[in-house]
């Protein structure tokens, strides 16, 4: 009877070991599936981050362009103001010159 009992216990141990091995295999399959999903999500996040970085670079370039145009506009405004002052001074000089030649 001891031999039969030992064989039954051994068989139960093999069955339990097989069950645990199957469970471990299933768990490893789940881990593999989740790892692949994570890798896919990480790839998507990476691609999105790259697109956002490219968009940020475009925005920065546009801001730089706006700054340059603003600088040019400021220079143009200052130049126009200087010309208006010179034109006003010339008009005043012309007015004074013409006043000397009044026929009266």
CA within 13 Å, CB half, 42? 6
Residue 102 has pLDDT above 90, yes or no: no
**DSSP code, position 103:** -
Q: What is the pLDDT of residues 38-63, one digit of tens each?
A: 999 999 999 999 999 999 999 999 99
> 97 falls in which pLDDT band (50, 70, 90)?
confident
DSSP one-letter string for 88-101: HHHHHHHHHHHHHT
Q: Quickly state the pLDDT bin for 21 (edges 50, 70, 90).
A: very high
Centroid of chain to Cα 9: 64
CA distance 21 to 49: 41
Q: What is the pLDDT of residue 104?
A: 59
pTM for this entry: 0.56
Q: What does the buried/exposed string (b/e) look like for 3-39 if buried means 16 or more CB atoms within 10 Å of the residue's CB?
A: eeeeeeeeeeeeeeeeeeeeeeeeeeeeeeeeeeeee
Phi, psi of 102 (to 5 degrees): -65, 135
């Amino acid at each position: 009877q001891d031999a039969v009992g030992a064989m039954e216990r051994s068989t139960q141990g093999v069955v339990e070991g097989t069950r645990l091995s199957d469970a471990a295999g299933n768990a490893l399959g789940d881990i593999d599936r989740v790892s692949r999903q994570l890798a896919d999500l990480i790839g998507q996040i990476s691609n999105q981050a790259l697109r956002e970085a490219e968009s940020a670079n475009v925005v920065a370039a546009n801001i730089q362009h706006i700054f340059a145009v603003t600088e040019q506009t400021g220079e143009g405004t200052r130049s126009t103001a200087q010309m208006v002052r010179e034109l006003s001074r010339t008009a005043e000089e012309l007015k004074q010159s013409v006043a000397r030649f009044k026929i009266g």
